[in-house]
Structure 1
């Protein structure tokens, strides 16, 4: 992202290069998107401390969620809502877009994160108008655009003339399940260790969750969304019952999302029958 932002910093005549984060549900796309946004915001704050006084605080990062059945006007309104730009029912799409571009420029937005991009369908009239608005915004707002969506390469988003324009301007990053092993490394165990470090349970023993890496990978299929939900749910239960620690038993008591539970049931080894 840092490289893409540098590439687009002095590009004024055409849309800046962007990025698309795609993959299956619960693969960590939104988590990655928000992490990039947070890193960018903190880096900007370190380089440009806000001076004392009534000066407006710069907003280097914007996050927009594509609404279901988005039209060009409702998407423009989402851009406006993020920065608190007043929008009335009487305003036209062009008026909202003009206000968005002006305010984003004044606020110093340098990175725009757009989530749930798979909801756009350029094959429909409404979807085509919305895609055109998005292209217009990428050319008028001096920022790098990053999109995230579920399996976007299999959706209509990359089809037709508008899809070709998007595909020609954005690099693609595939998010998938964390593998249990990758050469000599254990990426999923490393992820678990990071999640455990964020816990604040008085009686939890460090290293408990990494030792359960094989079990946790089986429960969650290596999906970061399912993993964080499982650990957070178990942590809340530990606080409520007063144990203040997570164990294999407490993890077993948590019911996960249907996708993870279905996977777990499918690969769960059968118990030997008693003779």
Structure 2
């Protein structure tokens, strides 16, 4: 990769999980590449960022892409706060939730996504643990005290 970056006039983006611990950035050549790279640690999409609402914007884009006969436009952006809490702001979890809700409503004939439909869908472990923490987790205890 180092040789390629020296020969081609282009910007290279390397994406992955724990890339700093992979052969890409370790060893002699990896260290040379690491010296030329900037690490951008990405996390969940925020509900709000300054005056913008990136998560609501994403929910609106997904809402606009739905092709369900009885779907009420604007439902997903109106549920942005709930959707963010439910998915932890993770785009993959949101995509899975909306996709499964759409499939569910197609199969049951309602063709309309509602919060009740969304609540009945099980998500990935991380999203479920964050949204519905176990009785012994600190998040559940803090919620119970409020």
TM-score by length of 1: 0.45
Q: Which one of the candidate residues 207, 213, 224 is aligned to 2:80?
A: 213
Q: Which residue of 2 aligns with 1:240?
A: 107
1:33-80 per-position Cα deviation (integer Å, ceiling 9, x unaligned): xxxxxxxxxxxxxxxxxxxxxxxxxxxxxxxxxxxxxxxxxxxxxxxx
Secondary structure of the 1:146 match is: coil
Q: Which residue of 1 aligns with 2:25?
A: 158
Q: Could you tell me how far 1:247 is from its partner in structure 2?
A: 0.5
Quick one: distance in 2 between partners of 1:270 and 1:190?
Answer: 32
Q: How does 1:41-190 map to 2 (within 5 A)?
A: 134-138=1-5, 144-153=11-20, 157-190=24-57
Quick one: distance in 2 between partners of 1:171 and 1:195?
Answer: 31
Quick one: distance in 1 between partners of 2:115 and 2:130?
Answer: 18
Residue segments in structure 2 that go unaligned for 5+ positions in a row: 134-138
Q: Which residue of 2 aligns with 1:99?
A: none
Q: Which residue of 2 aligns with 1:201?
A: 68
Q: Could you tell me how far 1:246 is from its partner in structure 2?
A: 0.6
Higher CA-based Rg: 1
Question: How many residues were matched structurally?
Answer: 139
Quick one: distance in 2 between partners of 1:217 and 1:157?
Answer: 33
Q: Which residue of 2 aligns with 1:230?
A: 97
Secondary structure of the 2:12 match is: strand
1:64-102 per-position Cα deviation (integer Å, ceiling 9, x unaligned): xxxxxxxxxxxxxxxxxxxxxxxxxxxxxxxxxxxxxxx
Quick one: distance in 1 between partners of 2:33 and 2:45?
Answer: 28
Q: Which residue of 2 aligns with 1:90?
A: none
Q: Could you tell me how far 1:142 is from its partner in structure 2?
A: 6.9
Quick one: distance in 1 between partners of 2:102 and 2:26?
Answer: 44
TM-score by length of 2: 0.80
**Bigger strand fraction:** 1
Tell me: higher relative CO, structure 1 or 2? Use CA pairs within 8 A at least 6 residues apart: 1
Quick one: distance in 2 between partners of 1:194 and 1:147?
Answer: 27
